[in-house]
Amino acid sequence: MAKRILLVVLITLGAVAAIVGAIYMRDTLLKQRYPLKYESTIVKYAGEYGLDPYFICAMIDTESNFRVDAVSEDGARGLMQIMPETSEWIAGKLDVSGYDIFDPDTNIRFGCWYLRFLKDRFSGEEQLMIAAYNAGHNKVEEWLAEGYSKDGSTLDEIPYAETKKYIDKVTRAYEEYQKLYQIG
């Protein structure tokens, strides 16, 4: 009888240890998939521009996976993958000259400013902000006017498969960053 009780206790302890280990491993693996770097810079500029730092993390993760030196086939640069002409436009708006778009502070600042611009332009509609960051704000405005929207302010359909996939990826990353980290 005592051997049976001991066996039940050992099996129960083993099961509990396995569950705890699995939960720990899951979080560890997810943190490798969804890294967090430049937290203080993200918090600084997210706060300055009235944005959610978890959202900024999701954008950076989706754009560059936190690679400072990332350059896309189209020429977008840095952590937040900002196009050269967009960075020049933002620099003019911020009265900044002699900047390095690969510098994390500059790139995150410019990216946050641009996301704030998109947030204002699209009345805070997150889906539209994300779509515009990927496809361009003029393109999203065309979609709203061309029948992809019933109300003219949200998209019922996203005509670019790449942009739809991008929105889904950012949204998923946003959810994961909120679960995995305590930012700020």
User: Which three-class secondary structure string do you get for the chain?
Assistant: CHHHHHHHHHHHHHHHHHHHHHHHHHHHHHHHHCCCCCHHHHHHHHHHCCCCHHHHHHHHHHHHCCCCCCECCCCCECCCCECHHHHHHHHHHHCCCCCCCCCHHHHHHHHHHHHHHHHHHCCCCHHHHHHHHHHCHHHHHHHHHCCCCCCCCCCCCCCCHHHHHHHHHHHHHHHHHHHHCCCC
pLDDT per residue as tens digits for the range 147-157 = 898 888 899 99
Task: Taking residues 152-172, report their average pLDDT.
Answer: 95
In terms of domains, do 3 and 77 share one?
A: no
Any residues with CB less than 8 A from the CB of 157 and at least 6 apart, and which? 148
Confidence of residue 31 (pLDDT cuts 50, 70, 90): confident
Q: Are residues 23 and 110 in the same domain?
A: no
In this model, does residue 30 exceed pLDDT 60?
yes
- Is the per-residue pLDDT at 16 higher than 70? no
53 plus 79 within the same structural domain: yes
- pLDDT at position 12 over 80: no
**Looking at the 3D structure of the chain, how many domains does it have?**
2
Residues 48 and 65 in one domain: yes
- Together in a domain, 97 and 13: no
Dihedral over alpha carbons 135, 32, 42, 103 (to 10 degrees) = -80
Is there a single domain that holds both residue 71 and residue 139? yes
Residue 148 makes CB contacts below 8 A (sequence gap 6+) with 155, 156, 157, 158, 159
Note whether 63 and 5 are same-domain residues. Answer: no
Reported as a single tens digit per residue, the pLDDT across 107-117 is 999 999 999 99
Q: 9 and 49, same structural domain?
A: no
Q: What was the pLDDT predicted at 27?
A: 74
Indicate if 25 and 41 belong to the same structural domain. Answer: no
Number of neighbouring beta carbons within 10 Å of residue 124: 11
The range of the structural domain enclosing residue 8 comes to: 1-33
Question: Could you report the per-residue pLDDT of 52-98, keeping only the tens digit for each?
Answer: 999 999 999 999 999 999 999 999 999 999 999 999 999 999 999 99
pLDDT at 5: 72
Band the pLDDT of 1: cuts 50, 70, 90: confident
Q: What is the CATH number of the domain that holds 48?
A: 1.10.530.10
| Residue type at position 104 | P
Q: What is the mean pLDDT of the chain?
A: 91
Q: pTM score, two decimals? A: 0.86
Give pLDDT, residue 140: 97
Structure-model confidence comparison of residues 7 and 104, the more confident one: 104
